[in-house]
Amino acid sequence: MGRSEFDLNASHDRSRRDMFEKNLKSRCSNFRHTAHSKISRPAQLARTQGRTDTKSEVDHGCTVSQEERMYCDNLEPSCANCVAANLECARLVNVRFRHVTDVGPSYSEQKWVKTAGRNHHFVDESPFLRTIYNSDEGPSPGTVFTDPPHIYPQSNAQLSITPSTGPPPITSPNSATESAPGSAYTGLNSISALRPLSEIPLGSNVSLATKAEPEGGIAFPLRQEPEVRLMKYYIDYMCHWFDLCDTRGNHFGQELPKRAIESPTLLNAIFAVSSRHLSIIGQFDQYASDRYHQDCLKHLRNIPINDPALIKDDLLAATILLRTLEELDVPLVGEDYQGHLLGIQIFMNAQDPLIPASGLRQASFWIGLRQDIYMAFVNQRPLKTKLDHSFIDQSFTPADDDTWAQRILINTAEIENFCFSNNEQPVSTYRRLKEYDGRWLESRPLSWLPLSYRAPNEACGEVFPEIWYMNHAVVIGIVHSIIGRVLLMCYNPTLPRIGPTHRNALEEVEEEIRKQIRELCGTALSNRRTIPALFTACMGVTMCGDRFSDRDEQEALLNVLVVTEEDHAWPTFAAQMHLKRAWGWSVDA
């Protein structure tokens, strides 16, 4: 499909990789032959060569033995495998770091390396890998296979360098978080990623039965290593930003990669959002996303307003992904051109309302609605999304958790329309929205009860409660209901304007707002697998953070913004500066 952004270095990279692969195959072939024929008893071979059977602190084998998945005797200075294969025996020291609370003594003569303002890369540089680096030119842009950000951050008290094969650790919302983008993703972090990709051999069962290809061809298997990485990054991480009220279908995680096989526009949109996020954390070519974005726009901008292509679900989904690019570039306090947000509405409104919407189309609507709720808040304007689609259900009849979350999303959208309207709204609208929120709270099923609740330990400086919920849909519903509830408090037209009750009423409202914001942050921090809940919490912190005067609470609120940006590259820096100024903190230039 000619999409690679690395054409300038393609010829050199290809010859360099071919030479590396040839040498690697030759060495591995000779190694296997020699090893299997000569090393049936490595300990006996070592003794015949006059070496002592001495173990060092290295107890997990040399790099060559690990690559070939063979037993390593850990003899020094070279193991039997490497002696027989005539290879340098390179080993890694088996070091484990244990968390301690005592940092130990300090020394006045200690010299520190200046690291401020620099990007650092920690490389496992064994002699076997060092040959790759000694070429006359480094790898082409975007081909450094580092890791993506933590999906589930750990508490500082649980940090460990020791690999873990278990589930992600449970953390407290009051715990400090580790911010180390790039250490949780190992899907392509291996020596095999440096070898060129291949065509599927003829007759292999890996391929499908022969059939006519679609007009635009098919994308899989992908031909470019960077694009393999981008697709894996989307499937492993980015899709978890979307399928939150779609637990039945998981359309953006399951359906979109399948559709991308035959949809170049959707494929480029996936590459665009993955490369943009990776570039923000310094792990991909910063210009790659723009190229993929432009490839999408070449198709989308040429679609006439009445073209049948407007009802294609994959183009609507692609626009949702492109809208995420805009969100990643827009601060919580700033300006947004909202180009793709308008495009979403064009695609959504193009379908005949009498035709039932597909599952992917409905999933796209709910994601687009959350995006619009966010941007309506940032810009304090009414939503652009139409709220009259036939699949919208605002009843209180029994339903699954997805439906209950969607119901409160609609009410939150209507609350924003009420609060940010350019025209004065009747008090009856306020009462209707408040009444719906109350009935929704009373009618929710038992699955909306928290799994557990732990009040903050104020003596230890904790600010937020710990509230665990069952699934993504519940968390998304809870955090959006809090945003809507707080907005109604801020824009309450029934508060007394003057008189002795005015001040008392304001104080009661202020305290209730602070309580809601604490619960909002506690919910988002306790349920970190629901990543966008943190984005919603940042909305609440930005909206109401100036109402907190206690220093501990201010620091905890600021930490929500910091953690969200560090862990997920969500832009909160402008909001951090805004709050610091509102609190009277000194702000570094």
Higher pLDDT, 475 or 11: 475
What pLDDT is attached to residue 312? 78
- How high is the pLDDT of residue 474? 97
Cβ neighbours of residue 294 under 8 Å, at least 6 residues apart?
none
Distance from the first to the final alpha carbon of the chain: 46
What DSSP line would sit under 446-467, residue for residue?
GGGS-SEEE---GGGT--S-EE
Query: Measuring CA to CA, how many Å separate 72 from each of 24, 27, 95, 468?
Result: 20, 18, 18, 46
User: Which of the four pLDDT bands, split at 50, 70 and 90, describes residue 63?
Assistant: low
Of the pLDDT bands very low, low, confident and very high (cuts 50, 70, 90), residue 60 is low
Tell me which residue of 206, 310, 199 sits closest to 265, measured CA to CA: 310
Tell me, what's the pLDDT at 286? 84
Question: Does residue 554 register a pLDDT over 90?
Answer: yes
* DSSP state at residue 177: B
Mean pLDDT confidence for 3-29: 45
Identify the pLDDT of residue 414: 98
| Residue 49 pLDDT greater than 80, yes or no | no
Mean pLDDT of 309-319: 80
So what's the pLDDT on residue 463? 96
What are the tens digits of pLDDT across the range 238-252? 999 999 998 888 899
Q: Please state, rounded to an integer, the average pLDDT across all residues of the chain.
A: 73
In angstroms, the Cα distances linking 278 to 134, 258, 526 are 26, 22, 25
Which is higher by pLDDT, 225 or 515?
515
Residue 400: both structure tokens together: 């699954």
307 pLDDT band, cuts 50/70/90, is low
Which residues neighbour 410 within 8 Å (Cβ) at sequence distance 6 or greater? 369, 387, 392, 394
Confidence of residue 195 (pLDDT cuts 50, 70, 90): low
Q: Which two tokens stand for residue 245?
A: 């009220």
Contact, 463 vs 553, CB < 8 A?
yes
Residue 479 exposed, middle or buried by CB count within 10 Å (0-12, 13-18, 19+) = buried
Residue 424 pLDDT > 80 = yes
For residue 171 the two structure tokens come to 């953390």
| pLDDT band at 589; cut points 50, 70, 90 | very low
Number of Cβ within 10 Å of residue 558's Cβ equals 19
Place 127 in a pLDDT band, splitting at 50, 70 and 90: very low
Which residues are registered as beta bridge partners of 454?
466
Q: What is the pLDDT of residue 501?
A: 85
Given a cut of 90, whether residue 336 has pLDDT beyond it is no
| Overall average pLDDT of the 290-297 stretch | 88
Dmax of the chain from CA atoms? 100
Which of 43-57, 202-216, 254-268, 524-538 is modeled with the greatest confidence? Answer: 524-538
How large a percentage of the chain has pLDDT more than 90?
Answer: 39
Decide if pLDDT at 456 tops 80. yes
**What is the DSSP-derived secondary structure letter of residue 241?**
G
- Cα separations (Å) of 566 from 150, 334, 348? 10, 19, 34
Backbone φ and ψ for 22, nearest 5 degrees, come out as -65, -45
Place of tokens 């200046």: 114
**Nearest to 525, CA basis, from 233, 256, 176:** 176
Least confident of 90-94, 204-208, 509-513: 204-208
- 452 — phi, psi (to 5°)? -160, 160
CB-facing half-sphere around the CA of 175: CA atoms within 13 A: 18
C-alpha gyration radius of the chain: 28
Evaluate if residue 208 carries a pLDDT over 80. no
- Asked if residues 411 and 433 have their Cβ atoms less than 8 Å apart, the reply is yes
Answer yes or no: are the C-beta atoms of 465 and 455 closer than 8 Å.
yes
pLDDT in tens, 173-194: 555 443 334 444 444 444 444 5
CB 272 within 8 A of CB 256: no
Q: What is the pLDDT of residue 113?
A: 53
Integer Cα distance of 476 and 440 in angstroms: 14
Element (H, E) at 43: helix 42-48
Q: What is the mean pLDDT of residues 105-126?
A: 51
Alpha carbon distance 254, 245 (integer Å): 14
User: In this structure, is the dihedral angle defined by the CA atoms of residues 582, 585, 586 and 589, taken in order, positive or negative?
Assistant: negative
Mean pLDDT of 382-411: 95
pLDDT reading at 160 higher than 50:
no
Confidence of residue 500 (pLDDT cuts 50, 70, 90): confident
- What pLDDT sits at residue 263? 87
CA distance 500 to 478: 35
For the segment 134-161, the average pLDDT, to the nearest whole number, is 36
Nearest one of 567, 566, 559, 565 to 541, comparing CA atoms: 559
Question: How many contiguous H segments (helices) and E segments (strands) does the chain have?
Answer: 19, 2
The pLDDT of 77-83, averaged and rounded, is 77
User: Under a CB-based contact definition with an 8 Å cutoff, are residues 301 and 200 in contact?
Assistant: no
Q: Token pair of 188, please?
A: 């392509």
pTM for this entry: 0.67
DSSP state of 255: I
Question: Mean pLDDT: which of 76-85, 221-230, 417-426 is highest?
Answer: 417-426
Q: Distance (Å, rounded) from C-alpha 456 to C-alpha 519? A: 11
Flag whether pLDDT at 459 surpasses 80: yes
pLDDT tens for residues 510-543?
999 999 999 999 999 999 999 999 999 999 999 9
Closest CA to 18 of 228, 197, 227, 222: 197
**d(C-alpha 540, C-alpha 480), whole Å:** 10
- The verdict on whether omega for the bond into residue 221 sits within 30 degrees of 0, i.e. cis, is yes
Strand partners, 155: 177
Per-residue confidence (pLDDT) for residue 415, from 0 to 100: 98
